[in-house]
Amino acid sequence: MKRSPKRPENSDEMRRSIILRTAVLSIISNIILASIKISIGIIIPSVAILSEGINNLADSLSSVITILGIKLSGQNRRFSAYAEGICGLIISILIMYTGIQFFRKSVLLIFYPQEMHIAPYVIIIMGASAVFKVFLSKLTIKRGKMTRSTSLIAIGIECRNDFIISAITLLSCALFLIFHISADAYAGIISSVFILKSDIGVLKDSIKDLTNR
């Protein structure tokens, strides 16, 4: 008798386990990155780096919401069809709020500029952060597609946004360090617009996922 190949990602228990492990990894890594970036952003000071750190905190909160959604779906089968879709919607709203606040602070910085003091170690940290976010984004999106988790895919898209933001912030820091040109506010504006633009797609997918259920 021919045995059918096992598809562990289709098992509810294995599926929840994969999502939970990925969400926990996201929480731990984002809290570490947020602590480092917020500290640097306050010391320099830099609104782009500080906002990026706050965005990492929002990412960790998104992962916490995902874990809560998985726990609820495991306990209540009637609610399970909507739990992850609702989590994806909440995450997209958090992304939008972060983007709006990021944009507002960056615009204010144009009219009220701050003196910056950037050391070479800042470039190294921001570069390492960007590389790590690429890895985390690919891993999270891959596992989100494998487990058909809308909320996990949303977290992966957040990580991809973080990479773009880190790259822009890294460029602005390099410009200041090498040429003493302050592009912090403009880097913040570009990053916030990118966040909001990407969030529209996440929001649409979350609403579509809920209405189709």
* pLDDT tens-digit map of 3-38: 544 444 457 778 888 888 998 998 999 999 989 988
Q: Per the structure, how many domains does the chain have?
A: 1
Residue 4 lies in a domain: no
pLDDT of residue 8: 46
Flag the least confident range among 72-81, 89-98, 142-151, 170-179.
Answer: 72-81
Most confident option among 35-44, 91-100, 158-167:
35-44
Note the pLDDT tens digit of each residue in 50-66.
778 877 887 787 788 77
Q: Is residue 1 part of a domain?
A: no
65-101 pLDDT, tens digit per residue, is 778 777 776 665 555 556 666 776 787 787 788 788 8
Is 138 inside a domain boundary?
yes
Average pLDDT in the chain:
79
**Is position 5 within any domain?**
no
> How far is the C-alpha of 81 from the C-alpha of 76, rounded, in Å?
9
In this structure, is residue 2 part of a structural domain? no
Report pLDDT for 80. 57
The model's pTM is 0.70
Range of the domain at 21: 12-212
> Residue 137 maps to which CATH number?
1.20.1510.10
pLDDT score for 76: 57
- The yes-or-no verdict on residue 2 having pLDDT over 60 is no
pLDDT at 9: 46
Q: What is the structure's pLDDT at 25? A: 92
**Does residue 35 sit within a domain?**
yes
Would residue 6 count as lying in a domain? no
In a domain, 60, yes or no: yes
